Each structure stands twice: as structure tokens, then as C-alpha cells.
Amino acid sequence: MTEVIKAGTILIENGSRTPESLQIQTEPYSSSWKSVSNLNLDELDTGIAKAGWTFFFMAGEVKITAFGFDKQAAVRRAVRRVITDVESHKCNCLEITQVSPQSFLGIPYVNVHAHARHIQKSSAFSPALDSTS
């Protein structure tokens, strides 16, 4: 993992198809996901739309809490759980919307909020059509 997760971070599942015209630069995040390093959400959305592809926004925010004295380790645990949730919805992208460290009775924890997203060529949500495996 090379990037610190923060609000605005975009993660894309490895092997996901994206428009060839969109020059997405990524950094490895986990064995199966990578973070977009050169585009923010608006730039990614605009590039996908210009290519005639669809960038789905899934309603319902994913909210995960992870406890731990090491903030970054807690964030990584929370993001792993977010990824699991996003994968269960067959989406290939996610947007981190909030990372907030907290504590309760001296026990530190972090809340991570995210939205599942999905990039595909078709305008009808169909993740099976875009699978590369």
C-alpha cells in the first residue's frame, strides 16, 4: 500500500476495464485494488462520460468502523471491509467520502464512509459484461 486513504480517494479493482482514451495512473493499494493517483472524482467522471462510458453511483453510503491505536492500520482494516461490501454489489470502483478518527472512553477508532461506484461501457448496470476473468 502506497497511498494514505483520505476523503476523495478513488479505488479501482485490478483488471477493471476503463476507456482507452482515459489515461488513468494508479498506485497499488492491495492485491486486488489500486488507487487512482492522477485524477480526482470530477476528472474521472468527465473522462468516462466523454468516452461514452458510464460511471455508476450506487445509492447508500457504506459506513465502516474499525478500532485500533494505530490509525493507519485501523483505516486499512476499515477499507478492507468497504472493499468486501463493494465487491458483494459487483462494483469495480469505490469513492472514499470520509475518514474520521474518533475515540470513545479512550479507545481510538476510525470511521470510513464510502460509495460503491462502477465503470462500464454499457449504460445499463451489468457488471458481468465488464468482467475480465
User: pTM for the full model?
Assistant: 0.89
Q: pLDDT tens digits for 8-37? A: 999 999 999 999 999 999 999 999 999 999
- How many domains, the chain? 1
Q: What are the CA-CA distances from residue 121 to residues 20, 65, 67, 86, 90 (Å)? A: 11, 33, 39, 19, 15
Q: Tens digits of per-residue pLDDT, 99-108?
A: 999 999 999 9
**Residue 132 within a domain:** no
Residue 3: inside a domain, yes or no? no
Structural domain of 28: 10-123
Q: Is 131 inside any structural domain?
A: no
